[in-house]
Amino acid sequence: MRRWLLRLLVVSLLPAFVRAADWPCWRGPERTGISKETGWLEQWPKDGPTVGWKASVGIGFSSFAVQDGRLFTLGNDNGKDTVWCLDAGTGKKVWSHSYESALDDKQFEGGPTSTPAVDDGHVYSLSRWGDLFCFEAAGGKIVWSKNIHKETGIRIPGWGFASSPLIHENLLLLNIGEAGVALDKRTGKLVWASGDKDAGYSSPVLCKRGDDWLAVFSADDSYSAVNLKTGKPVWNVRWLTRFGLNAVDPIITSDNLFISSGYGKGGALLNIAGMEPKEVWRSRNMRNQFNSCVLLDGFLYGIDGDTTTKSFLKCVELKTGDVKWSHEGVGMGALMCAAGKLIVLSEKGELLVAPASPEKFAPTAQAKVLDGKCWTVPVLANGRIYCRNAAGDVVCVDVQSHKKP
């Protein structure tokens, strides 16, 4: 009887060990592309996972922010951008805000490429042309808005601003200009700005030196670390690429920084412990064009290649730059990680789950969930995986653990 009661108690407590997690901004709360969520279904029925809902948000490549039961993203339709707030569980519109914005389908479908950020009851969004908004997350009321390009005079790069907002304490950080801009998140007042130069297309990433917080920004020909208090660069690494396309967020771990670009450039590991970064290695084994790798247990997982070449999903050892495995078939897709599993959305809309292992790529689940071009990073939040294509078709895949196959 005692053993039976003990087993019953253990079973009754199991749901408490399933940990859900919000995803409030681009690449998640720690900007790593890794979620701490556990207990979601990594194996699906033969006919695929349950589709919770579908929606249409307009053309673009914006990913998703998910916070407090709401999902935020951007899209363009008929010459207007729209900031969408949807119910994360049903896909129904909670609120939206539209404004004039050119599609600008220059060598791609066009539309917004930035992902909104949610912080302290507010949501922040940036358009390719510098339209910057702070909304009340619950109801969509505009707290403040401005056009950051017109205010600062900083030029718009060739494919528009792509930076996803980063909130740190009271600062709103954006990759605009030579080495970023900072605004007061509460008022929108400009705190500091960098020089008038083409920004890169990555989003800022935080790191710390001593007691000082730094943010790393890309320009068209370099990466810079900037002191957040002063706005002054601490170091700069020259990084020349074809077309000035530095579009991938740096990955920072301990005293090292990994940077990567497409069009044949490749990647490099830099030691940033000293006054100036020192190159540890450089290779063409991981050439990220616009989606960053995830780093887990010393290994980089990401898309090597670009739109002009054949692409491969690869695992590369961070310490050496050596390739551990290479998998063809996902094209210019995107990925994130949760519970030690890779969640990959292929360019053609196939969703795959596989253990993040340097040994091999061996999916435990896969299903076709979208048609059209899929370059946008999928997001797992609270038992649901959200995916979209360039046309703005959104699908919510239900992987909650109580819905076992």
Confidence bin at 8 (pLDDT 50/70/90): very low
pLDDT digits over 236-249, tens only?
999 999 888 999 99
The more confidently predicted of residues 306 and 219 is 219
Q: Collapse the DSSP code of 269 into the 3-class scheme (helix H, G, I; strand E, B; otherwise coil) and give the result.
A: strand
- Going from the C-alpha of 148 to that of each of 44, 101, 122, 182, the distances in angstroms are 45, 14, 18, 11
CA–CA distance, 221 with 219 (Å, rounded to integer): 5
Length of the chain counted residue by residue: 405
pLDDT digits over 341-392, tens only?
999 999 999 999 999 999 999 999 999 999 999 999 999 999 999 999 999 9
CA torsion, ordered 6, 8, 12, 17, to nearest 10 deg: 50
pLDDT exceeds cutoff 80 at 12: no
pTM of the model: 0.94
CA–CA distance, 294 with 315 (Å, rounded to integer): 10
CA–CA distance, 286 with 66 (Å, rounded to integer): 29
- Across the chain, which distance is largest between two alpha carbons, in Å? 76
Any bridge partners for residue 84, and if so which? Answer: 73, 96
Least confident of 50-54, 195-199, 272-276, 322-326: 272-276
Please enumerate in sequence order all residues whose Cβ is within 8 A of that of 400, keeping only pairs 6 or more positions apart, or say none.
40, 41, 383, 384
The CATH code of domain 62-247 reads 2.130.10.10
pLDDT at 242: 84
% of the chain exceeding 90 in pLDDT: 88
**Residue 3 backbone dihedrals phi, psi, to 5 degrees:** -65, -40
pLDDT digits over 172-209, tens only?
999 999 999 999 999 999 999 999 999 999 999 999 99
pLDDT digits over 52-81, tens only?
999 999 999 999 999 999 999 999 999 999
Q: State how beta strands 334-338 and 34-35 pair.
A: parallel
Nearest to 165 by CA among 83, 56, 88: 83
Residue ranges of domains in the chain: 62-247
- Going from the C-alpha of 277 to that of each of 122, 166, 219, 232, 313, the distances in angstroms are 36, 23, 17, 17, 28
